[in-house]
Amino acid sequence: MTEAKPLGLITLISDHLSHYISTPKLLVVYGTSWCKACEKIKPQLKELGNDINVVIVDTEKHLKSNRFYPSKIKSYPTLAYYENGYYIDDIKGLTNIKQEINELN
Reported as a single tens digit per residue, the pLDDT across 12-60 is 999 999 999 999 999 999 999 999 999 999 999 988 877 899 999 999 9
Phi, psi of 54 (to 5 degrees): -125, 130
| Residue among 35, 40, 42 at smallest CA distance from 75 | 35
d(CA 59, CA 3) in angstroms, rounded, equals 28
pLDDT (0 to 100) of residue 2: 47
pLDDT at 69: 97
- For residues 83 and 105, what is the distance between their CA atoms, to the nearest angstrom? 10
Query: What are the angstrom distances between the C-alpha of 33 and each of 1, 8, 14, 49?
Result: 36, 20, 15, 20
